[in-house]
Amino acid sequence: MDRKKVLIVEDEKNIVDILRFNLQKEGYETLEAYDGTTGLTLALEENPDLILLDLMLPGMNGFEVCKTLRDKGRSTPVLIITAREAEKDKILGLDLGADDYITKPFSIRELLARVKANIRRVAMVQAEPPAENRLDFGRLVIDKGAGFAAKDGENLELTQRELELLTYLASNAGKVFSRQELMERVWNYEGYVGDVRGVDVAVRRLREKLEDNPAQPRYIITRRGAGYYFQKD
């Protein structure tokens, strides 16, 4: 079995030590960077399977690292480490293309579960057979194999997570999914009981790219008090 590589970008040495120790114990290979610039360089050169990214870093901060990575077309899962209660940071981080966040102080068990879920999600996407990989809704075409969605012939430039969310909803058109269900099935969090607002942020971002008028969505519809569904026509 090939070992998965996790890049830790964090300037607090004791946190890096704890993360490195526990990740290696779980069988991961680790890389460490103590500032944002080095983190970005390692992310680009070493192509890790996941990045644990602190936000407050010397030099380039975590937001800039994440945004630059996405601007360069890298879809490596990014798990942001934020200080407690920094709600704005979480939302901004997700907006900039991070996949997930975990709040300091975190439990090692939870962190390892998140790392595993985010790496597994990518592996599952890559393992899908190419046959039923194309969903055609006329103006909108979703190609899971090639990893893109296009509307009116133009690539929507979705992030990995947005594409997975759209694909999941579109593959089950008309069926309403609660935020909880989407957390479990798109984010791969089994029995997730925490914050589900990440789903709303992802839906909002997806609508901005997908809908003619994001305020009056035509594809991703909200069912009040229930969740979201994809409307075919």
What residues line the site for Ca ion (CB under 5 A)?
A: 11, 54, 56
Which string of DSSP letters, residue by residue, matches 48-109?
-SEEEEESS-SSS-HHHHHHHHHHTT----EEEEE-TT-HHHHHHHHHTT--EEEESS--HH
CB contact set of 170 (below 8 Å; sequence gap of 6+): 135, 137, 142, 219, 230
Q: CB of 119 within 8 A of CB of 113?
A: no
**Closer CB to Ca ion, 105 or 191, in the complex:** 105
Closest residue to Ca ion, based on beta-carbon distance: 56
CB of 12 to Ca ion, least distance (A): 6
CB of 37 to Ca ion, least distance (A): 14
CB of 57 to Ca ion, least distance (A): 6
CB of 28 to Ca ion, least distance (A): 21
**Closer CB to Ca ion, 56 or 173, in the complex:** 56
CB of 56 to Ca ion, least distance (A): 4
**Closer CB to Ca ion, 54 or 162, in the complex:** 54
**Closer CB to Ca ion, 16 or 122, in the complex:** 16
**Closer CB to Ca ion, 11 or 181, in the complex:** 11
Q: CB of 135 within 8 A of CB of 170?
A: yes
Please name the residue that has the structure tokens 């305020």: 215
Cβ-based burial of 73 (10 A; exposed 0-12, middle 13-18, buried ≥19): exposed
**Closer CB to Ca ion, 86 or 173, in the complex:** 86
CB of 39 to Ca ion, least distance (A): 11
Cβ-based burial of 127 (10 A; exposed 0-12, middle 13-18, buried ≥19): exposed
